[in-house]
């Protein structure tokens, strides 16, 4: 491998994923050598708590790496090769509203899907475009690997509004599911699987899973999923809401036994079942505040207070290893076959060319090269075209400042059963997001229903 060492900035350094990413970077310096690691965030206090602990991790494991945390974009984005973006515009305070406002009206309240995902998308577009502009101003040759959600809407927006920018939008849900497939097949890693997959982000299907000898593994996986979904014999470390999600995959699978589904399809195909199992007063954000967020900040405080990360409970994770694989593919032009979100350009024969599809691509120095996935069935085509229209209407609403387009997006979503209900939810979301959304000047009819 060439002996270049890379410079990375994590945008959203205060993210709960940051310690796992730092640890994974430190575990992979032989594969992906780095000379400089920076954190950038617009909440310096949150970020500093994570940075203080990560500084100790880096000092103990790789003291040669230059490390800093900053809220100054010039400092954060100058002289970087890769931007790992994982911001949450509005933070958990707004995610909680994304989840609880729709649920109050008996509609799915979720981070990246339905009204919650639309509200989050309208917040995220400006935040991610700002990161791209910083990157292009201070390090014009850098690549951005964006995890910031909702990746589907962010991908439509960045493709439309920054079409030439060096950004790849990614998701670790398919990786998480293929990790489970590997365990079901008693294999060591998802990397032992070859696969074909198509869809939008959080809205896709596997059409093929093979081993490295080319053997078809779909029948074995489908027989398992038909009975168990993606639930494994040992789920001791899995949170209740995630166990429900992995179990419901069998209900989604039942709708098309020829494929294997992404877990997120449950929100679109079984919204009533999801609402039935939801508590409008205790949602995923509440679980995270008591779980991941509490663990991460307590663990960081322990490291900072003790001055060592020697016995830290932090672990490398798939969230991070995927990003590093992507950086390597770009840095060394490896043409590795990876699942990313990219303009369709005919890869799915019967979808519009500009649809932002999540499909296998060859990743190299010039970004993704989509791999043809052929013609898709009427069922998936219908679902995808509807959801793709929702996502494009959200970007229209952002660019035009259009209340009407946003109301159309909510009304078109498979998750919202009625345009009058969509408007009631929308008006509450407009109020809740007044500090984040662009002003929606165009069209704001009087209430439809008395
Ligand atoms: N793509 C995927 O599959 C995937 C997987 C996991 C998490 N995520 C996403 O990663 C992001 C981080 O998740 P988390 O739970 O760690 O969130 P978090 O709230 O813990 O951290 C997000 C950080 O972003 C910062 N931030 C918010 N707006 C910003 C802005 N405009 N500029 C700079 N910094 C900003 C916040 O201050 C915070 O420190 C979220 O968008 C989440 O949805 C995506
Ligand atoms: O509710 P959260 O914040 O815990 O998770 C929401 C995210 O869920 C997916 O990412 C999962 C990933 O799929 C799984 O394998 C593991 O790494 O945990 C991740 C985060 O929990 C999804 O892909 C993301 O887009 C969501 O933000
Ligand atoms: Mn995702």
Q: What is the pLDDT of residue 94?
A: 98
Confidence at 162, pLDDT banded by 50, 70, 90 = very high
Q: What is the pLDDT of residue 315?
A: 87
Q: Decide: 380 in ligand 1 pocket, CB within 6 A.
A: no
Measured CA distances, 91 to 69, 87, 95, 148, 286 (Å): 19, 8, 6, 11, 13
Identify whether 361 is part of a domain.
no
Q: Tell me if 68 sits within 8 A of 38, measured CB to CB.
A: yes
Nearest CA among 12, 14, 24 for reference residue 327? 24
88 is in an annotated binding site: no
Average pLDDT of the chain, as a whole number: 96
* Residue 264 is among the residues annotated as catalytic for this protein: yes
Confidence at 446, pLDDT banded by 50, 70, 90 = low
pTM over cut 0.95: yes
Identify whether 218 is part of a domain.
no
Question: Which residues are near ligand 3, the ion (C-beta closer than 5 Å)?
Answer: 171, 173
Identify whether 437 is part of a domain.
no
Identify whether 432 is part of a domain.
no
Q: What is the pLDDT of residue 448?
A: 62
Distance in angstroms (rounded) separating the CA atoms of residues 171 and 163 = 20
Task: Compute, in angstroms, the gap from residue 120 CA to the centroid of ligand 3.
Answer: 13
* Residue 41 is among the residues annotated as catalytic for this protein: no
pLDDT of 161 over the 90 cut: yes
378 is in an annotated binding site: no
Q: Tell me if 436 sits within 8 A of 94, measured CB to CB.
A: yes
Measured CA distances, 415 to 334, 390, 410, 450 (Å): 40, 11, 8, 23
In the chain, % of residues over pLDDT 70: 98
Segment 318-333 shows an average pLDDT of 91
ipTM score assigned to the predicted complex: 0.98
Protein residue with least CA distance to atom 13, ligand 2: 173
Q: CB-based contacts of 311: which residues, under 8 Å, 6+ apart?
A: none
pLDDT in tens, 142-155: 999 999 999 999 99
For the ranges 60-64, 237-241, 307-311, 332-336, the lowest mean pLDDT is seen at 237-241
Confidence at 71, pLDDT banded by 50, 70, 90 = very high
Helix residue ranges per DSSP H, 28-113 = 44-61, 73-77, 91-104
Distance in angstroms (rounded) separating the CA atoms of residues 258 and 32 = 39
pLDDT of 1 over the 60 cut: no
Q: What is the pLDDT of residue 447?
A: 62
Residue 69 structural domain: 6-169+286-314
215 is in an annotated binding site: no
Q: What is the pLDDT of residue 237?
A: 87
Q: What is the pLDDT of residue 151?
A: 98
Q: Which residues lie across from 70 on neighbouring strands?
A: 40
149 is in an annotated binding site: yes
Confidence at 321, pLDDT banded by 50, 70, 90 = confident
Segment 411-425 shows an average pLDDT of 97
Q: Report the b/e string of 235-249 with b at 16+ CB within 10 A.
A: eeeeeeebebbbbbb
Confidence at 445, pLDDT banded by 50, 70, 90 = low
Protein residue with least CA distance to atom 15, ligand 2: 176
Protein residue with least CA distance to atom 14, ligand 2: 176
Backbone angles phi, psi at 13, to 5 degrees: -60, -20
Identify whether 263 is part of a domain.
no
Q: Decide: 142 in ligand 1 pocket, CB within 6 A.
A: no
pLDDT of 317 over the 80 cut: no
Segment 352-360 shows an average pLDDT of 98
Identify whether 297 is part of a domain.
yes
Expressed in percent and rounded to 5, the helix, strand and coil fractions of the chain are 50, 15, 35
pLDDT of 2 over the 70 cut: no
Q: Which atom of ligand 1 is nearest to the CA of 172?
A: 3
pLDDT in tens, 78-129: 999 999 999 999 999 999 999 999 999 999 999 999 999 999 999 999 999 9
pLDDT of 351 over the 80 cut: yes
> Total domain count for the chain?
1
Q: Decide: 264 in ligand 1 pocket, CB within 6 A.
A: no
pLDDT of 437 over the 90 cut: yes
187 burial level (CB within 10 Å; 0-12, 13-18, 19+): middle
Identify whether 355 is part of a domain.
no
Q: Which atom of ligand 2 is nearest to the CA of 239?
A: 4
Task: Compute, in angstroms, the gap from residue 176 CA to the centroid of ligand 3.
Answer: 10
Number of neighbours of residue 367 by Cβ within 10 angstroms: 16
* Residue to mutate (ligand 2; options 99, 172, 294; most atoms within 8 A of CB): 172
Distance in angstroms (rounded) separating the CA atoms of residues 349 and 375 = 5
Distance in angstroms (rounded) separating the CA atoms of residues 25 and 31 = 9
The CATH number of whichever domain residue 43 belongs to comes to 3.40.50.720
Distance in angstroms (rounded) separating the CA atoms of residues 245 and 422 = 25
Identify whether 356 is part of a domain.
no
């Amino acid at each position: 491998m060439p002996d270049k060492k890379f410079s990375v900035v994590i945008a959203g350094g205060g993210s709960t994923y940051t310690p796992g990413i730092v640890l994974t970077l430190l575990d992979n310096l032989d594969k992906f050598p780095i000379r400089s690691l920076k954190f950038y965030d617009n909440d310096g206090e949150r970020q500093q708590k994570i940075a203080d602990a990560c500084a100790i991790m880096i000092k103990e494991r790789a003291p040669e790496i230059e490390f800093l945390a900053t809220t100054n974009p010039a400092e954060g984005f100058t002289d970087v090769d890769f931007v790992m973006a994982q911001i949450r515009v509005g933070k958990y305070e707004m995610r909680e509203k994304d989840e609880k406002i729709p649920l109050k009206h008996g509609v799915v309240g979720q981070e990246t899907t339905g009204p919650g995902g639309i509200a989050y998308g309208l917040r995220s577009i400006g935040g991610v475009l700002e990161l791209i502009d910083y990157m292009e101003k201070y390090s014009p040759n850098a690549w951005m690997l964006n995890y910031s959600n909702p990746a589907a809407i962010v991908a439509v927006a960045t493709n439309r509004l920054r079409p030439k920018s060096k950004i790849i939008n990614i998701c670790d849900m398919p990786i998480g599911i293929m990790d489970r497939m590997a365990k079901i097949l008693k294999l060591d890693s998802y990397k032992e699987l070859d696969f074909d997959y198509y869809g939008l982000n959080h809205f896709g299907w596997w059409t093929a899973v093979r081993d490295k000898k080319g053997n078809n593994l779909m029948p074995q996986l489908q027989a398992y999923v038909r009975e168990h979904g993606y639930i494994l014999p040992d789920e001791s470390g899995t949170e209740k809401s995630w166990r429900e999600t992995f179990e419901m995959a069998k209900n989604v699978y039942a709708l098309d036994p020829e494929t294997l589904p992404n877990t997120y399809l449950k929100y679109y195909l079984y919204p009533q079942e999801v609402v039935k199992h939801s508590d409008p007063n205790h949602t995923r954000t509440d679980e995270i505040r008591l779980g991941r967020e509490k663990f991460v900040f307590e663990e960081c405080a322990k490291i900072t207070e003790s001055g060592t990360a020697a016995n830290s409970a932090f672990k490398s994770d798939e969230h991070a290893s995927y990003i590093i694989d992507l950086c390597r593919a770009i840095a060394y032009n490896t043409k590795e076959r990876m699942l990313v979100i990219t303009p369709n350009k005919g890869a799915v024969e019967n979808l519009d060319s500009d649809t932002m599809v999540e499909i296998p691509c060859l990743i190299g120095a010039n970004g993704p090269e989509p791999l043809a996935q052929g013609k898709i069935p009427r069922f998936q085509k219908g679902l995808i075209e509807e959801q793709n229209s929702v996502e494009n209407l959200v970007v229209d609403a952002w660019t035009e400042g259009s209340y009407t387009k946003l109301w159309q997006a909510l009304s078109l979503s498979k998750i919202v059963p009625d345009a009058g209900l969509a408007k009631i939810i929308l008006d509450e979301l407009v109020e809740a997001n007044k500090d984040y959304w662009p002003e929606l000047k165009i069209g704001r009819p009087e209430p439809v229903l008395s």
